[in-house]
Amino acid sequence: MTASFEEILKSRIFKFTVGQNVDGRPTTFSVHEEAIAALSQPLHALMRSGLSESESGHAIWEDVSKDTFIRFTQFAYTGDYSVPALAMRVIPAVEDDVIPGPEPEPEFTIALDSEPGPSNQFEDCPPAAEETVPEPMSDWGSFGSVRKMTKKEAKKKVKVLDVFSTTPLPLLSARNMYEDTCEPSSAFKPWCTYSSSFTSHASLWILGDYRHIESLKALALHKLHKTLCAFELYSQNVEDVIDLVRCAYSDEGAGLGEGMSGLRRLVCQYLAMNKTLLCQDDGFMDLLGEGGQFVKDFFKYSTA
């Protein structure tokens, strides 16, 4: 059950030290206990079981990177996480393999019609008489004369009455300050590397799987799938996909459940769609040459 914001703010501060085995140095963060404990039963037990970590209010996650933990904590507080910014790709220029660059912005031109438009065939007609609408009588009943409003006056009166309810007050900033940073772009940027984007989603899936956070696993796969759909594979960015494969086929990428994990299944489905181009790349063939479970899964999906 999701904790209320008041419950989160009133909960004690819990410390996490992360990144020793991934970043090469540890980083310590302080978070509200309730925000993390509410995500899953294992996390609730970690913080409130009465064992050493619970008593000290400090946990050490050496295999979780600093960046992954930041996105994990953002998800704990907001239900979403920001995708990493894409870095520029640094590669040597090759004559025969041109990297597509950004398409130029289209130029907008306004065509002016120099010819005069058709004359108004009704310009000599007299204006139509305005319809009148009876104005509601006052408390005097029918005593005296009743002035009639024109149709134009009646519409104006209705407009004035509705202006309060139909004119919202403007906002000076977005209600969710991170909303624009959370959705993967559907536009492919060939001059950028996608390696960190792929592995960030995969790493969050692995963390969600290990800590039994099903909603985080589903969100990470959703974003990874959308990023892969936008990604256009060519010879000089195959390395980005290889990095994703290595992350998914680490020991943690196998998942805790039986059978093939959702992360590995998604990766193999993408590889199978692009097997022709991938098998022409020396780096990918070297990866296949390493053997292991990846090779079995890749050929299973490639020959299906």
DSSP at 253: G
**What tens digit of pLDDT does each residue of 199-223 get?**
999 999 999 999 999 999 999 999 9
**What tens digit of pLDDT does each residue of 285-302 get?**
999 999 999 999 999 999
Percent above pLDDT 90 for the chain: 66
pTM: 0.77
The CB-based long-range contact list for 269-275 (8 Å cut-off, 24+ gap) reads 269/301, 270/228, 270/241, 271/241, 271/245, 271/298, 271/301, 271/302, 272/298, 272/301, 272/302, 272/304, 274/233, 274/241, 275/302
Identify the pLDDT of residue 153.
Answer: 64
DSSP assignments along 188-240, one per residue: --TTEE-HHHHHHHHHHHHHHHHTT-HHHHHHHHHHHHHHHHH----GGGHHH
d(CA 227, CA 125): 62
pLDDT band per the 50, 70, 90 thresholds, residue 258 = confident
Taken in order 293, 297, 302, 304, is the CA torsion positive or negative?
positive
User: What's the average model confidence in pLDDT over 248-268?
Assistant: 94
**What tens digit of pLDDT does each residue of 113-124 get?**
444 444 444 445
Identify the pLDDT of residue 180.
Answer: 86
**Is 302:275 a contact under the CB 8 Å cutoff?**
yes
**Is 97:232 a contact under the CB 8 Å cutoff?**
no
Identify the pLDDT of residue 298.
Answer: 96
- Residue 293 corresponds to which amino acid? Q
272: its two tokens: 């199978």
User: What's the average model confidence in pLDDT over 23-37?
Assistant: 97
